[in-house]
């Protein structure tokens, strides 16, 4: 038995070894397959998630990878397959994905554009497939008599949308009504854009379209008519007893119409006026011409202006003065664009004429010149304007053309303007038989220079009259102080003065003579200005007491100045009390500064030498003729009138010379003498009388008394209460 047992054992061992090896191999293969499946699953899942395909599921079976889930679209399914192939070999991927069912597609926007013109009809757009296109074309050919119908329609197989058939039928009916149109047809809506031959045809078509609109269809119409040709192109604006109104109005553009209507509303027209847009305007500046013409009638207050093409006619009733009419006509003529010409006529009673030609210019103190009157024609007006602008800082011209002016009229006007250059302010009046000039100058030889300029420009035989006032304050050679400089000098003297007052009183303490002497010197050239001496106190004491004290101290100073021979006629005193401190009242030094007399200018213009009034160029105002002067001779005026002998040189000036001094209250005519140039008094603009010199209390020399109205005018706007005149 032992040998047999020894022979079986090796065989069994071999079997056991082989079985063990097989088991180990199976386990290894199974482990390897599981590892590959898990790794493939993880790699594909990561690849899909990173690409955003969360809807895709992944399963593995050995080497195979199955993709499951519902893809939103076929494109997404394909992209998921491609993305998975980046993680494993594509041959291992099994596609078990499904695609979501596609939603029903919305029907397209059906629309037809029907274009009609004299050459025919064109159909463009998209219609449902069920539309009977042949019947549509037959209807258009038979109902419209169009020479040609072009079918460019496309179809789509969808059911008819709601409102389509009604809109299509109405669109075909609209094509029958309009000869030239674009008709847009959509379900339930039709838009008609058409052009008609006239406004009447436009209204007829709009009415017919509205009446034919079927229920459930919305109509939008844009019907236009060409602008009418207006011949002649006309605008007529009237202001009379019934108020402002248009009797005709034409405009070339929408903007131009707006400008014309705004001008009419500014002239007083009520309501919502109309103005026809049309073709045929003679100039692109038509609206500007109409605007200026309406403004001219508004300036007159009554009248009529008519523009027919480029001709402008301005008329006014006889109630309008010639001066006012000439000014309005002159401004309109200057403002009209070049292509337009003006004819202006003032209605008059039978037998009346326009009166003599006249030119008037006024020069203000700031060298601003205003001109009105008549001139020969537009070129001459431009020449006068150019001449004036070359010599004066500002020119306002309302000259109007008048072919009836005398020969040489423009030369006389230019000569008058040339002579005005010697004036600081004044007026000149030119008529056919006389030239009159009056004004103020800072040149003592202004009258002689003006006469020489006139003789040189308009000839030796011309007649002229000059009344030129010499104002020494305007003379640059004298370098006289103005009002501000006078006040500055007076306040400087007071700041350096040793004049004081006894405590709580208005009695001057100390010796005031040195200060009064300096004040007298300063007032030598300043007495003509209206100046206030204002008293001020510190804050000690009651307000009422301080106000009374300050006024009494100012009066005391003015009285002392008068007693010292200083002219104080234009000097007033006023008390301000403690109301205007210049330093703190908390310290003695500050209170001392607040106790003071301070001068203040009340009028920029001197009282005595107020310039001659400059007439304003307005209705009813002209420069008055230079009448014979009355009164005694006095300085500061040179008045000349003269006419050189025929054929000779103007070597002398006829001057006015006063007679012997008249008695108080007496007025005398002043005869003229030849060959001398005397100083004569200023013309009073009311009664042409000369005030006699009067003696002012406290003054060393006689001087003319200032007119009360002059003083009142000079103090305009200044507070006058609490003012006590100097004793």
Nearest in space to 361 (alpha carbons), one of 290, 321, 413: 413
What SS3 state is found at 523?
helix
The pLDDT tens digits for 234-256 are 899 999 988 999 988 999 999 99
Structure tokens at 658: 């006063």
Residues 278/225, Cβ–Cβ less than 8 Å = no
Please, where in the chain does CATH 3.40.1520.20 lie?
111-224, 234-346
**Cα dihedral 19→20→26→31 (10° resolution):** 170
The pLDDT tens digits for 678-688 are 333 333 333 32
Structure tokens at 287: 């609206």
Of 253 and 658, which is predicted with more confidence?
253
Please, where in the chain does CATH 3.30.1340.30 lie?
27-99
Euclidean distance between CA atoms 698 and 265, whole angstroms? 64
pLDDT at 694: 29
Q: Looking at the DSSP assignment, which residues form a beta bridge with residue 152?
A: 124
Of 547 and 3, which is predicted with more confidence?
547
CATH of 234-346, one of 3.40.50.150, 1.10.40.50, 3.40.50.11540, 3.40.1520.20: 3.40.1520.20
* DSSP conformation class of 102: P
Sequence length of the chain is: 727
Fold (topology level) of 111-224: hypothetical protein tt1634 (3.40.1520)
What distances in angstroms separate CA 63 from CA 46, 477, 526, one per listed residue?
17, 123, 124
Kindly calculate the radius of gyration of the chain based on its CA atoms and give it in whole angstroms. Answer: 53
DSSP labels, 105-121? PPPP--EEEEEEETTEE
Q: What percentage of the chain has pLDDT greater than the value 90? A: 27
What SS3 state is found at 466?
strand
CATH class of 483-601: alpha beta
The pLDDT tens digits for 319-330 are 898 888 988 998
The pLDDT tens digits for 257-274 are 999 999 999 999 998 888
Q: What percentage of the chain has pLDDT greater than the value 70? A: 78
Residue 342's contacts (CB-CB under 8 Å, 6 or more residues apart) are 312, 313, 314, 329, 332, 333, 336, 400, 401
145 has pLDDT over 90: no
**Span 397-419, average pLDDT:** 88
**pTM of the full structure:** 0.44
Euclidean distance between CA atoms 371 and 17, whole angstroms? 141
Euclidean distance between CA atoms 120 and 333, whole angstroms? 54
The pLDDT tens digits for 569-600 are 999 999 999 999 999 999 999 998 899 999 99
The pLDDT tens digits for 295-349 are 999 999 999 999 988 999 999 998 898 888 988 998 998 899 988 989 888 886 6
Euclidean distance between CA atoms 84 and 40, whole angstroms? 10
Nearest in space to 669 (alpha carbons), one of 696, 690, 692: 690
Fold (topology level) of 27-99: 3.30.1340
> Would you place residue 402 in the very low, low, confident or very high pLDDT band (cuts 50, 70, 90)?
confident
| Mean pLDDT for all residues in the chain | 78
For 301-339, where are the alpha helices, taking DSSP H only?
322-335
Displacement of CA 549 from its chain's centroid (Å):
54
Please, where in the chain does CATH 3.30.1330.60 lie?
483-601
């Amino acid at each position: 038995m032992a040998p047999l047992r020894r022979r079986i054992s090796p065989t069994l061992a071999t079997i056991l070894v082989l079985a063990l090896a097989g088991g180990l191999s199976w386990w290894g293969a199974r482990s390897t397959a599981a590892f590959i499946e898990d790794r493939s699953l993880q790699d594909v899942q990561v690849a899909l998630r990173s690409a955003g395909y969360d809807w895709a599921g992944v399963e593995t079976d050995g080497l195979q990878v199955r993709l499951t889930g519902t893809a939103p679209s076929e494109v997404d399914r394909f992209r998921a397959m491609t993305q998975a192939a980046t993680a494993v070999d594509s041959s291992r991927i099994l596609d078990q994905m499904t695609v979501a069912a596609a939603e029903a597609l919305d029907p397209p926007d059906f629309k037809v554009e029907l274009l009609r013109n004299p050459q025919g009809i064109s159909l463009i757009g998209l219609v449902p497939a069920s539309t009977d296109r042949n019947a549509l074309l037959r209807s258009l050919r038979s109902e419209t008599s169009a020479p040609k119908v072009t079918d460019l329609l496309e179809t789509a197989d969808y059911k008819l949308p709601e409102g389509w058939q009604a809109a299509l039928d109405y669109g075909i009916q609209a094509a029958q009504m309009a000869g030239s149109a674009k008709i847009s047809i959509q379900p339930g809506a039709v838009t008609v854009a058409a052009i008609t031959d006239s406004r009447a045809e436009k209204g007829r078509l709009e009415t017919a379209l509205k009446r034919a609109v079927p229920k459930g269809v919305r109509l939008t119409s844009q019907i236009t008519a060409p602008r009418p040709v207006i011949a002649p192109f006309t605008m007529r604006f009237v202001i009379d007893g019934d108020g402002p109104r248009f009797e005709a109005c034409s405009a070339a553009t929408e903007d131009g119409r707006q400008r014309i209507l705004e001008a009419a509303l500014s002239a007083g027209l009520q309501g919502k006026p109309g103005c026809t847009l049309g073709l045929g305007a003679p100039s692109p500046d038509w609206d500007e011409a109409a605007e200026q013409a309406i403004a001219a009638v508004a300036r007159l207050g009554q009248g009529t202006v008519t523009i027919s093409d480029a001709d402008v006619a301005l008329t006014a009733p006889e109630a309008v003065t010639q001066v006012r009419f000439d000014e309005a006509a002159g401004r309109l003529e200057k403002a009209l664009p070049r292509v337009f010409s003006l004819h202006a006529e003032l209605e008059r009673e039978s037998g009346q004429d326009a009166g003599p030609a006249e030119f008037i210019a006024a020069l203000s103190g700031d060298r601003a010149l205003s001109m009105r009157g008549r001139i020969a024609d537009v070129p001459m007006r431009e020449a006068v304007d150019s001449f004036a602008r070359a010599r004066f800082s500002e020119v306002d011209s309302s000259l109007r053309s008048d072919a009836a002016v005398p020969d040489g009229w423009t030369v006389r006007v230019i000569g008058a303007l040339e002579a005005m250059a010697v004036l600081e302010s004044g007026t000149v009046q030119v008529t056919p038989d006389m030239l009159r000039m009056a004004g103020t100058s800072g040149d003592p030889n202004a009258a002689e220079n003006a006469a020489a300029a006139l003789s040189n420009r308009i000839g030796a035989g011309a007649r002229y009259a000059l009344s030129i006032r010499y104002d020494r304050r305007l003379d640059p050679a004298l370098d006289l102080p103005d009002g501000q400089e006078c006040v500055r000098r007076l306040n400087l003297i007071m700041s350096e003065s040793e004049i004081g007052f006894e405590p709580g009183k208005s009695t001057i303490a100390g010796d005031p003579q040195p200060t009064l002497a300096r004040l007298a010197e300063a007032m030598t050239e300043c007495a003509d200005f209206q100046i206030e001496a204002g008293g001020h106190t510190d804050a000690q004491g009651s307000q009422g007491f301080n106000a009374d004290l300050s006024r009494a101290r100012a009066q005391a100073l003015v009285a002392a100045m008068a007693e010292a021979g200083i002219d104080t006629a234009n000097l007033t005193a006023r008390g301000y009390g403690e109301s205007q401190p210049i330093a703190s009242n908390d310290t003695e030094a500050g209170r001392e500064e607040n106790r003071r007399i301070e001068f203040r200018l009340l009028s920029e213009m001197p009282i005595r030498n107020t310039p001659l009034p400059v007439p304003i160029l307005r209705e009813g105002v002209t420069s008055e003729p230079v009448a014979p002067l009355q009164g005694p001779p006095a300085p500061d005026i040179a008045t000349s009138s003269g006419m050189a002998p025929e054929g000779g040189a103007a070597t002398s000036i006829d001057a006015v010379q006063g007679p012997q001094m008249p008695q108080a209250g007496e007025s005398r005519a002043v005869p003229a003498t030849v060959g001398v140039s005397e100083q004569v008094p200023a013309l009073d603009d009311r009664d042409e009388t000369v005030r006699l010199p009067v003696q002012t209390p406290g003054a060393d020399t006689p001087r003319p008394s200032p007119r009360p109205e002059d003083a009142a005018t000079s103090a305009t706007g200044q507070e006058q209460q609490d003012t006590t005149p100097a004793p």
